[in-house]
Structures are given as structure tokens and as C-alpha cells.
Amino acid sequence: MAKSEKEKYWTPIIETMPRKEIEELQTKKLIHAVNYAYSNAEHYKKSFKEAGIKPEDVKTIDDFNKLPILYKDEIRERLQQTGDPFGGLLAIDFGEKILNIAASTGTTGVPTVYAYSWHDRQISSEQDSRLKWMKGYRPGDVFFMVGPRWHAYASQLFYAMDAMGLTVLIDCGYPLPFISKKHVMTMKTLKPNVYASPNISLYSIIEAAKSMNEDPRDVFSCCKLIDAGYGDVLTTAVRKRIEKETGIASENIFDSGGIAEPLWYYGDCEFHVGNHCLDDLFYTNVCDLETREPLAKGEKGECVITNLFSESLPIIRWGTEDMTIQDLEKCNCGRTHSRWTLLGRDAFATNIKGTKTFPTEIENALGDIPGFTEYFTILKYKKGPMEILKMKLAVDQTKIKDQEKFVKEVKSALKEKMGVESEIEVVKTIADLPFVGHKVIKVLDLTKEAE
Ligand SMILES: [Zn+2]
């Protein structure tokens, strides 16, 4: 491997391994993970027995896929029955080896609790070093992360930044107007060249800059890249909007995200063709949401994740309820690990006249309309298929001269691009939308309130 090739990757040999070797490695690690989980975590002892499978029965990936899929609700149920906050998943001594304990955001219900040991954080950080290196983070860069520091992900991310030799700007992460003004000053005076945050924090800085009579393009001119997403899907429409506002070219705007419980994180490379995941650390496949059977290559289904290294909380076949498409072809960047296109939570899909509609599809349909932002809430006003799509939109008022005309444009784009009739309510700010944690509720189920 030439020197320049080596510099493309954090761990060149692993990241460019032939698929066959990745699968052999995954099989070995899966067998170990199954035995470890069964021997150490109460939940798996019970669930494997109920499925009639002994750890020694698992010798291949096909055998492994016969194990039951684990859903968050089972952990919540066990929490209620036994009071065990980890729902029977904890495999090490509480208090002795656990480094951090955290709760998930609670996007789909009661937050679940998960833990890191020292070993878990080391490997999770390795995951971040690889993903961030792929995006162009390099030693000596000045990194500014404006995000929720209370999320356990921050622990592994900052550890990775230290390992990679970046200078980290420490600041409060809340996207509140007065704090965002301070962030504008930080950007102007300390000039970070790598900026990372959830989209909501990025927009808050852009708005703060405008309110200070600063051009957001000048504020972001010190950056070589923006790393966004972190909880929201970075659609083409959103990428274009960020480019327009900050002046950073689309190809230098990257996507980041993940799922907290299995410690599974992902990101895109310079080709932006799906999100890369690390297959030597996770075994991930796509299953039918109804039958729970593995699906063929390229089919749309639920992403099911197994963590291959976790010591504290073994995660075997975690049902994410996220609809995805997996791509196992080698990427143009030379990486051979799987790439994922995320469509969104199945819980966020809305049934309009029998057709499943995802918020990401709405974002792409409306992305070119001036004033549209990806902050909206779909109203589920009846059980089963709905006749029309009802939604509340938080818009960028500075870009809308005539609100009636804007609503008309939105309705006709939804009709033309997605074939749906709609009822649109425009709200003044993002704060007028319903929230769960730091995220806007994508689909508000009004049928539950009516019960
Ligand atoms: Zn790639």
C-alpha cells in the first residue's frame, strides 16, 4: 500500500479487507458474543432458552440469524417487572467495571439505560477515529463540537479526538439564542476548521449570526468541513440548505449518526453514497419488520444490529425499528464495509391512502422551496390509512414574503412529487413544535390522546 493510500485510512488493512475475510471475522466474533451474552446476562439465558437455541448451536451466520430479535420494549417490560434498569442485559459487576451510565434520548418512548466499561469506550472511540478520519479530520485540526454534552456519545467522541491529536474547543452545547451568539464569537476569534453539531445547533448559530449583523458565510469561512446530522437524517435538501447558508460546499458537508444502545455509529465518506459502518465491530443485517426474516441484498427493511465487542451490555440482534437499505458493494473510497441508507423510523412512517410515507421523503420533496426547514411534525389524526397528510411546519420567516403563496407551493409539491393531498399549518418557531428530549417529534399520535 502506497504512503498516500495509507493516509486515506485510520486503519488501512481493516477498512479495506475483502468481504469474505470480514464475514469470517464476523462469524468468529459472533460465536464469542453469543457465548459471552448467554453466560453473563440474564436476559439472553432466558430468551435463548425460549427460542430453543443453545449457544453451541450457533456455528454460522445463518444459525445466528435464528436467534430472537431484541426490542426496547422487552427491556422496558423487564424494568417494570424487576426494577432492573438494564433489563437483564448487564454482564459485568455494577460499580466495579462500569465507567459511564447513560440513558437514550427516548425518541420512541421511555428512555433505556446503557453502560460503557473502559474496554467498551476504547473500542467505541476507535470507531469514531476511523469515521472522523474518513471525513478528513486530521491531527492539528481545531475541532468545535456544538452538541449535547450530556449524551454518552460525547465521552467516546472526545476520547477519539484526543487519540487523533486534534485541538478541541470546549463550550456549552445548547442551541439557545444567547449561547449561540457566544458560539458565533468563538468561531470568529478561535477559527475552528472542523465544525460538528446536530442540525438544530448549526441553524441556531446561523440565526444568531444574522441577528448580530454577521454574515454566516464569514463566520463559517474558517471551516474546511461541517459534520452534521447527529440525530436527524441529512437529506440532499438539508445538505443544499446548509451549503447555501454557510458557504461550505456540499461535498464538504458530512452526515453523522448512530444508535446509542448498541454503540453503533456511522458516517459518510467524500463520495456521500450511504453511511459507512464498521463491520469488524458490528454484524448488521436487514430483516422484514413483520416476519423478522433476513431480507435479500438491497431490499428495504429493518436494520438489526449486533455489537461484537461490548463487555458491559452485550447487544445481540437489536431491532432498531429503523427502515434502511444495506449496500455491501465496495465503495469508491476503497472501503469494503457495509454502507447504509437510512429512511427513518418505521414508527415515523405515515400511512396515506395505504402508502408508507417517510419524513425524509417529505424533506426531499420540499427541500427546494425557499423558507422550508426540516423541522415539522406530522399529525396522525386517525388509526390506519389517512386520506390527507396533515403537518405543522416551522419555517424560515426571513425567506418567506407571502405565507399563503408558500403554503400553496408546499401543497402542490406534495401533490406533484408524492401524490398526496395535504393540510399545512405554519408555526412561528421550532419551539412551537412538540419536542421529545432535544428532538422535534416527527409524528404526533393524536389517536393516543383521544383514547
Ligand atoms: Zn466510501
356 CA → ligand 1 middle, Å = 29
160 CA → ligand 1 middle, Å = 20
Inform me whether the pLDDT recorded for 436 exceeds 90.
no
pLDDT band at 148 (very low <50, low <70, confident <90, very high): low
C-alpha–C-alpha distance, residues 35 and 45, integer Å = 10
285 CA → ligand 1 middle, Å = 19
Q: Give strand pairing partners of 16.
A: none
Mean pLDDT of 82-90: 90
338 CA → ligand 1 middle, Å = 9
Inform me whether the pLDDT recorded for 238 exceeds 90.
no
List of E strands, 335-404: 339-345, 350-352, 355-357, 376-380, 389-394
C-alpha–C-alpha distance, residues 246 and 238, integer Å = 12
339 CA → ligand 1 middle, Å = 8
C-alpha–C-alpha distance, residues 114 and 85, integer Å = 9
Mean pLDDT of 44-67: 94
Digit-coded pLDDT (tens) for 360-401: 888 888 988 988 888 899 999 988 889 999 999 999 888 888
Mean pLDDT of 216-229: 97
Inform me whether the pLDDT recorded for 449 exceeds 60.
no
> Domain limits of the chain?
12-121+275-345, 136-260, 349-450
Cα-based torsion angle of the residue sequence 310, 312, 313, 314 in order, rounded to the nearest 10 degrees: 40
Mean pLDDT of 303-332: 94
pLDDT band at 99 (very low <50, low <70, confident <90, very high): confident
Q: CA quadruple 24, 29, 30, 32: dihedral positive or negative?
A: positive
412 CA → ligand 1 middle, Å = 36
Q: Give strand pairing partners of 305.
A: 284, 318
Inform me whether the pLDDT recorded for 3 exceeds 90.
no
224 CA → ligand 1 middle, Å = 19
12 CA → ligand 1 middle, Å = 13
175 CA → ligand 1 middle, Å = 31
Contact by Cβ (8 Å): 422, 390? yes
pLDDT band at 322 (very low <50, low <70, confident <90, very high): confident
Number of neighbours of residue 424 by Cβ within 10 angstroms: 17
Contact by Cβ (8 Å): 255, 229? yes
99 CA → ligand 1 middle, Å = 33
Please give the CATH architecture assigned to the domain spanning 349-450: 2-Layer Sandwich (3.30)
pLDDT over 70 percentage in the chain: 94
User: In the prediction, which pLDDT does 137 show?
Assistant: 97
4 CA → ligand 1 middle, Å = 16
Number of neighbours of residue 81 by Cβ within 10 angstroms: 10
Tell me whether the CATH fold assigned to 12-121+275-345 matches the one assigned to 136-260.
yes
275 CA → ligand 1 middle, Å = 8
157 CA → ligand 1 middle, Å = 21
User: In the prediction, which pLDDT does 103 show?
Assistant: 75
- What is the maximum span of the chain, computed from C-alpha positions, in angstroms? 67
Of 442, 435, 232, residue with least CA distance to 347: 442
Inform me whether the pLDDT recorded for 415 exceeds 70.
yes
Class for the domain spanning 136-260: alpha beta
146 CA → ligand 1 middle, Å = 25
DSSP 8: H
User: In the prediction, which pLDDT does 104 show?
Assistant: 67
406 CA → ligand 1 middle, Å = 37
| CATH number, domain 12-121+275-345 | 3.40.50.12780
177 CA → ligand 1 middle, Å = 36
161 CA → ligand 1 middle, Å = 21
Summarize the chain as % helix, strand, coil (round to 5): 40, 25, 40
Crossing angle of the two packed helices 177-190 and 199-211, in degrees rounded to 10? 80
Q: Give strand pairing partners of 339.
A: 276, 327
Mean pLDDT of 301-312: 95
Rounded to the nearest integer, the mean pLDDT of the chain is 89
More confident: 96 or 274: 274
276 CA → ligand 1 middle, Å = 7
Tell me the whole-structure pTM to 2 decimals.
0.83
311 CA → ligand 1 middle, Å = 29
At 389, phi and psi to the nearest 5?
A: -90, 125
C-alpha–C-alpha distance, residues 129 and 127, integer Å = 6
List of E strands, 231-274: 253-259, 264-267
pLDDT band at 451 (very low <50, low <70, confident <90, very high): very low
pLDDT band at 59 (very low <50, low <70, confident <90, very high): very high
Mean pLDDT of 200-212: 92
Inform me whether the pLDDT recorded for 110 exceeds 70.
no
274 CA → ligand 1 middle, Å = 8
96 CA → ligand 1 middle, Å = 39
328 CA → ligand 1 middle, Å = 11
